[in-house]
Amino acid sequence: MSPDPISVFAKIMVALRLLYRLLNLHYEAAWTDSWSHRRCLHQHQTLIEAAKCAKPRGAGWYVFAVEGDTPRELNETEDRIVNEFRFGTVRGLGDNSGQNLREKPPSPN
Ligand SMILES: [Zn+2]
């Protein structure tokens, strides 16, 4: 018996959506300036790159992810990497920590 074409189509769409998000993931720096929220609008490929962009903007900076066109908060692992950069607690990870994370697919929520 051949598989139900509608369910096969649904599985393909789920896979394509996930792939689109993975291929279009980048990070941006954000900060507050005179009570308004600003973002750098760069497409940083790593968390550390975005954090380095954000750091000179002052103490209230943060990094967020953009999947496709949709901004989202960092997940726990991403957040830890940014905090390690912010507080200088990175041990042996260097600048590649964000890159390593990028090679793993983010959890689909
Ligand atoms: Zn930037």
Task: Quote the pLDDT of residue 100.
Answer: 47
CA of 2 to the centre of ligand 1 (A): 50
Task: Quote the pLDDT of residue 75.
Answer: 96
CA of 28 to the centre of ligand 1 (A): 6
CA of 86 to the centre of ligand 1 (A): 15
Regions of the chain short of the pLDDT cut 70: 1, 90-109
The token pair at 71 is 């901004």
Task: Quote the pLDDT of residue 96.
Answer: 47
CA of 59 to the centre of ligand 1 (A): 16
The span from the CA of 34 to the CA of 20, in Å, is 36
pTM: 0.65
pLDDT tens digits, 31-56: 998 888 899 999 999 999 999 999 99
The token pair at 21 is 């998000």
Q: Which residues contact 79 (CB under 8 A, 6 or more apart)?
A: 73
